[in-house]
Amino acid sequence: MINEQISDCSFSIPDGLKIPAAAKSHPLLVAELNFGEEVTENKWLSELLKGKSLAEFGCNLGLRAAFLAPYTRQIFCTDPDGVCLRLARETLQLNKRRNVVVVDQITQTVSADALLWDTRRYGNESLPELTLQTALLIVTGPLPRSTASKVLDAGYEHLSQYHRAAVFAAPRGQHGVQ
């Protein structure tokens, strides 16, 4: 793990991964890197997603996709912020991740085994439409009722038992998790 210090904020980058220089000079993106790209989360995700295709909503700088790429068959990722989309493309190019495609929008034409949705990247007003019918749904970040309702409205509440799975990950230290 590489630890970097930039203007009173430190963050960790998984060993061997690179991020664009422009990301390091943007204080908001550095703060999100510090909070959003959690290495322990990525490690258990790499096991869960081994050999699968993934659609990632909220890719930020693409660091999670760059980390998961060697474990997955293919990743399609997007973010609501155009600057992040540009930086994600740079991150993936810097890290030579050829099985990851950064797109402006993920549609039903994308074939994926799993959907990863980082709710930290979306406000309630900009929640993406969950049109993909995947076998596995992973939601990281806060899960207010309105967001949970959107997940259930996407068709996940009427599924037969064990037909699909959902993983909801809360930040460490919250909800009694240590």
Tokens for 32, please give them. 């999100």
Q: What CA–CA distances, in Å, run from 33 to 63, 72, 127, 158? A: 9, 22, 20, 36
pLDDT in tens, 23-61: 877 766 766 665 444 566 778 889 989 999 999 999 988
Q: What CA–CA distances, in Å, run from 117 to 39, 80, 130, 147? A: 16, 12, 9, 11
pLDDT in tens, 141-173: 777 777 777 766 666 554 444 444 555 554 444
12 has which bridge partners? Answer: 3
38-169 has which CATH code? 3.40.50.150
pTM for the model stands at 0.76
Crossing angle of helices 27-36 and 82-94, rounded to 10°: 70
pLDDT in tens, 54-90: 999 999 889 899 999 999 999 999 999 999 999 999 9
Q: Above pLDDT 70, what percent of the chain?
A: 65
Domain boundaries along the sequence of the chain: 38-169
